[in-house]
Amino acid sequence: MDFIEELHKRRTFGIISHPDAGKTTLTEKLLLFGGAIQIAGAVKSNKIKKSATSDFMEIERQRGISVATSVMAFDYRDLKINILDTPGHQDFAEDTYRTLTAVDSVIVVIDVAKGVETQTEKLVSVCRMRNTPIIVFINKLDREGHDAFDLLDEVEQKLGLKVCPLSWPIGMGALFQGVYNMYEEKLCLFNAHGKQTEEETITIKDLNDPLLEKKVGERAKKALVEDTTVVKEVYPEFSREAYLNGEISPVFFGSAINNFGVKELLDCFVEIAPTPLARQTEERLVIPEEDKFSGFVFKIHANMDPKHRDRIAFLRIVSGKFERNTNYLHIRQQKKMKFSNPTAFMADKKSVIDEAFPGDIIGLYDSGNFKIGDTLTEGEQLHFKGIPSFSPEQFRYVNNADPLKTKQLAKGLEQLMDEGVAQLFTREYNGRRIIGTVGALQFDVIQYRLLHEYGASCTYEPLSLYKACWISSKNDKAIKEFCERRKRDMAVDKDGKLVFLAESAWVLQTVKENSLDVEFHFTSEF
């Protein structure tokens, strides 16, 4: 099969939302339809014992939340689909922001009862900056919730999206009867008991068909006819071009836990979703159809398999064909590297591949060569841009609780920091270690993973800091003087760069005014 054909078969998308809207459950059901798994797991359920495929870490199973992005690939209707299930919780948002750089389109999940929540707003604003095509899925229709029109207004106002409903619910909660698919003009009836089976689908071209009344009753039919008439008048008509430019967002309704409305979403998605898109580098625009290979690392996961202590760098292929055992240039280190066992993913299950194409996400075993944002090419000097890095907002001292495990703690901290979820600083004058994170939940995850994956136990001590600032200057003397003057507030990060730890906004402001030759940066990539 030729390269262009393979390229057009790829669809790569991320699923984003506020916590508990049902991202992971939706991912499970998509995998079920794609034939990748036989029984769908659930995040929290009394009846279903199997946990979700994408939540493979022990801490995820315990808490019922996703803490790291997982990648899953499956085949559906001769297409190769890559899903990235992202954490919803804001303490892990930076993982999600980075993931958004590696996808071509996005599905936003909204809970019908809660409507649009804060985290969803933040994530959608990132997508809109990049004009990423968005599909909205309104979930949990088997529960009582907001009126459908109110929800659509809320989506338009809060998220700034222009919506275009492609399906419409009949009833809600206890009276929920099904969904009318306007895209394909089909009626899908909801059966509360047949959870794992195909739903009953009836093709109804005309809503005045007597069969409709027979199936849903007079009242529901009347409401449906009225609603769909309003929808057609108020909302714009669907055009694929407008969707790909990020101007309109199709909306689907359903209930992921009951498997309902998911297949319609998937069928429509594979028809309209974009094929791999071009990416901007500092040098030029890279288009997927190019012959020469290029790609970037957007995530690193330490200890994917705790038995082997392996680190895997996730690489998104942007152009050309990736081949096993071929030399590629690592741009930051300027050295050639080749990979003997690149892997494709199904959450934590891996299989070795010989080749991969633009749009694919592959895992490369890493012994410490990669950082987030690194580029691999066939020789051309390219730097992909737009991969965010964050300034830590919460700080704690980390202490070793078991002196016999000093080595394990050091190794564990080093590897977990490389994932880019937290930063490690060492104070210059007393050598104490400080962890800085974006969210408080990260501390628990680090503590848990150190104990269970590295066998090292640690305790935390509170510390009140305002910001960590990386410093630079064209004048070496100015830096030296600054470090001597502010000795107690200086630290180094894991790469040995100088960091100034400011106790408050006022301190930072004063220091800036007094040291005009020194530049302050809030991220380490300046």
Together in a domain, 316 and 342: yes
The tens digit of pLDDT for each residue in 235-285 reads 888 888 999 888 899 999 888 877 778 888 888 888 888 988 888 888 888
| Beta strands 10-16; 79-85: pairing state | parallel
Together in a domain, 406 and 493: yes
For residue 219, being part of any structural domain is answered with no
The tens digit of pLDDT for each residue in 307-316 reads 666 788 889 9
Which one has a higher pLDDT value, 445 or 187?
445
Of the pLDDT bands very low, low, confident and very high (cuts 50, 70, 90), residue 396 is very high
For residue 144, being part of any structural domain is answered with yes
In three-state form (DSSP H/G/I as H, E/B as E, the rest C), the secondary structure along 400-411 is ECCHHHHHHHHH
Together in a domain, 267 and 290: no
Tell me if 359 sits within 8 A of 104, measured CB to CB: yes
Together in a domain, 10 and 133: yes
pLDDT score for 399: 93
For residue 212, being part of any structural domain is answered with no
Exposed / middle / buried, residue 276 (Cβ in 10 Å: 0-12, 13-18, 19+): buried
- Mean pLDDT, range 66-71, rounded to an integer: 66
Together in a domain, 150 and 252: yes
Least confident range of 76-80, 101-105, 384-388: 384-388
pLDDT score for 196: 43
Q: Average pLDDT of the chain? A: 82
For residue 103, being part of any structural domain is answered with yes
Structural domain of residue 403, as residue ranges?
Answer: 394-521
Together in a domain, 76 and 143: yes
Q: Choose the final residue of a domain: 314, 349, 377.
A: 377
Exposed / middle / buried, residue 130 (Cβ in 10 Å: 0-12, 13-18, 19+): middle
Together in a domain, 254 and 310: no
- Mean pLDDT, range 32-59, rounded to an integer: 52
- Mean pLDDT, range 338-363, rounded to an integer: 80
Q: Choose the final residue of a domain: 337, 352, 377.
A: 377
pLDDT score for 409: 92
Q: Choose the final residue of a domain: 308, 342, 377.
A: 377
Together in a domain, 356 and 443: no
H or E element, residue 399 = strand 394-400
**Is residue 226 classed as helix, strand or coil in its secondary structure?**
helix
| pTM of the complete model | 0.81
Query: Looking at the 3D structure of the chain, how many domains does it have?
Result: 3
pLDDT score for 382: 87
Of the pLDDT bands very low, low, confident and very high (cuts 50, 70, 90), residue 203 is low
For residue 214, being part of any structural domain is answered with no
- Mean pLDDT, range 213-230, rounded to an integer: 82
The order of strands in the sheet holding 178-181 is 167-170, 178-181, 186-189, 200-203
Give the up-direction half-sphere exposure of residue 513: CA atoms within 13 A in the CB hemisphere: 6
Tell me if 6 sits within 8 A of 357, measured CB to CB: yes
Together in a domain, 119 and 268: yes
Is the per-residue pLDDT at 330 higher than 60? yes
Is the per-residue pLDDT at 46 higher than 80? no
Which one has a higher pLDDT value, 96 or 135?
135
For residue 157, being part of any structural domain is answered with yes
User: 364: which DSSP letter?
Assistant: E
Exposed / middle / buried, residue 293 (Cβ in 10 Å: 0-12, 13-18, 19+): buried
Together in a domain, 456 and 497: yes
Of the pLDDT bands very low, low, confident and very high (cuts 50, 70, 90), residue 45 is very low
Please report, for the domain that includes residue 348, its CATH number. Answer: 3.40.50.300
Together in a domain, 310 and 403: no
For residue 349, being part of any structural domain is answered with yes
For residue 8, being part of any structural domain is answered with yes
pLDDT score for 510: 92
- Mean pLDDT, range 210-217, rounded to an integer: 76
Tell me if 169 sits within 8 A of 160, measured CB to CB: no
pLDDT score for 260: 79
- Mean pLDDT, range 332-339, rounded to an integer: 89
The tens digit of pLDDT for each residue in 115-174 reads 888 888 888 887 887 788 999 999 888 888 888 889 999 999 988 889 999 888 887 777
Together in a domain, 443 and 330: no
- Mean pLDDT, range 490-510, rounded to an integer: 90
pLDDT score for 284: 87
Give Cβ neighbours of residue 15 (< 8 Å, ≥ 6 apart).
23, 26, 27, 83, 84, 85, 86, 106, 107, 109
pLDDT score for 128: 82
